[in-house]
Amino acid sequence: MTDQPYQGYDGYDGYDPYRQQPAPQGWPQQQPYDDPQAAQPYTQQWQGQTWETQVQPPVAPPAEETAYMPSQGAGAAYGGYQEPGWGGTQAPAHAQTPAPAQAPAQTPPTDGSEPGYGPATVAGNARITDAQRARLEGRSPIIEPGVQPAGLTALLGLLLAGAAAIGPYALVVPLVALQAVTAAGWFRLNGMWPARQGIALAFAGALTADVALLASGRTPAAILGTLGVWVLLALVLQLRSHADPDERMYGLMATVASAALAIVASGYLASHGDAVTVGAASVAVAVLVRALPLPTPASVAVSLLAAAGAGALAGALTGLGSAGALLGAGAAVCALIGHRVASYDYPSRFVHFTAGVALPLAAAAPAVYLLGRALV
């Protein structure tokens, strides 16, 4: 101890970190004070850089603030500070060059160094359908099958017409192919692929209807009975599913519609042989003419006239006579409806070669049966 008065804090006469230092240039001169109450208006504010024990990664500012920011050298990564003596000067961290007011926007580089941004798209929603996307992009959601699917439809129709002239058992061979393509095409048209269980269920219903028709002497009641049983079976299977309610309802409707179309196609087997020959030939001609590059109203009118002419010609070769024109026109109307359904919802090439081939013939089967019974 000494008799000298205190020269620092707690008798310490060495370096004091709280001792008032000379103010830097531009700072207001701080006055020494002893009274804590009087020191409140003169609380010292630290505005300089501080030393960190660990270097923190810089925080990237928003893109619109850095799109035109000039390079600040090696010290830019540390807030614009460069240590004196290393060729730099101390600058405030918040000092930035303002961006030009009228500068156009630039796209970030996409050479792999920075994440790039693609063009604007409306495909962000995963639940949006192809038809909705086509409408938003200004495209038509209707794409009709081309000449190749029409050629396959015509070939299958001619096979049906020729097999019907031979006999019912010969008709089963192209009919089974038609039913298989119908079941697969409807599921694909609804965006459900691969739906093996649903396709197998619909095709099994079609085969059951064929067997029931042959076993019952081609009685139409076999088609209605099979259709009712398969609707009930599809309902039971969907109730046992653990999917969401919306997905179960969607799957139920697709399964029932696919099975119904495949089973209804068995109407060719229940119809008279001459009616099947006239109707299938008329559908083949109508689909081929519909594929020609004509305006839609003109194409529909020409295809109906061509189907009526083909029906009249086929009726002259069989026992229907002039009534074949009416049967051919009626079958062509149903075929064009199926053709339109296969063109909806912006389908793919696979849809065109399945639903686009089978739906015109499958949709014409009820007309061939009803008009055949009325005219023969």
Predicted confidence band of residue 195 (pLDDT cuts 50, 70, 90): confident
Instruction: Give CA–CA dist 156/18, Å, rounded.
Output: 99
Predicted confidence band of residue 133 (pLDDT cuts 50, 70, 90): confident
Beta-carbon neighbour count of residue 111 at 10 Å?
6
Cis peptide before 168 (omega within 30 of 0): no
Q: Is 65 left (phi over 0), alpha (psi -120 to 50) or beta?
A: alpha
From the CA atom positions of the chain, what is the Rg in Å?
A: 41
Q: From residue 336, give the alpha-carbon distance in Å to each of 92, 217, 300.
A: 76, 31, 8
CA angle 98, 100, 101 (to 5 degrees): 110
* C-alpha 196 chain-centroid distance: 20
CB-CB contact of 193 with 185 (8 Å): no
3-state helix, strand, coil in the chain (%, to 5): 55, 0, 45
Instruction: Give CA–CA dist 308/310, Å, rounded.
Output: 5
Residue 76 predicted with pLDDT over 90:
no
Instruction: Give CA–CA dist 268/165, Å, rounded.
Output: 12
Give pLDDT tens digits for 101-131: 554 444 444 444 444 444 444 444 455 666 6
Amino acid in position 275: A
Q: Which residues contact 344 (CB under 8 A, 6 or more apart)?
A: 131, 141, 142, 189
Instruction: Give CA–CA dist 272/372, Å, rounded.
Output: 7
CB-CB contact of 197 with 241 (8 Å): no
Token duo for residue 316: 């002259």
Residue 367 predicted with pLDDT over 50:
yes
Matching residue, tokens 């051919």: 328
Pairwise pLDDT comparison (241 vs 161), residue with the higher score:
161
Residue 61 predicted with pLDDT over 70:
no
- The whole-number pLDDT of residue 232 equals 93
Average per-residue pLDDT for the chain: 76
Instruction: Please give the average per-residue pLDDT across 137-165, as a whole number.
Output: 91
SS3 42: helix
Give pLDDT tens digits for 212-263: 999 998 898 999 999 999 999 988 888 887 778 788 888 889 999 999 999 9
Give the helix/strand (H/E) hosting 221.
helix 221-239
Instruction: Please give the average per-residue pLDDT across 298-319, as a whole number.
Output: 93
Token duo for residue 170: 């010969």
Amino acid in position 230: W
Give me the helix-helix angle, 221-239 and 245-264, nearest 10°.
160
Token duo for residue 177: 């192919």
Give pLDDT tens digits for 36-50: 555 555 555 555 555
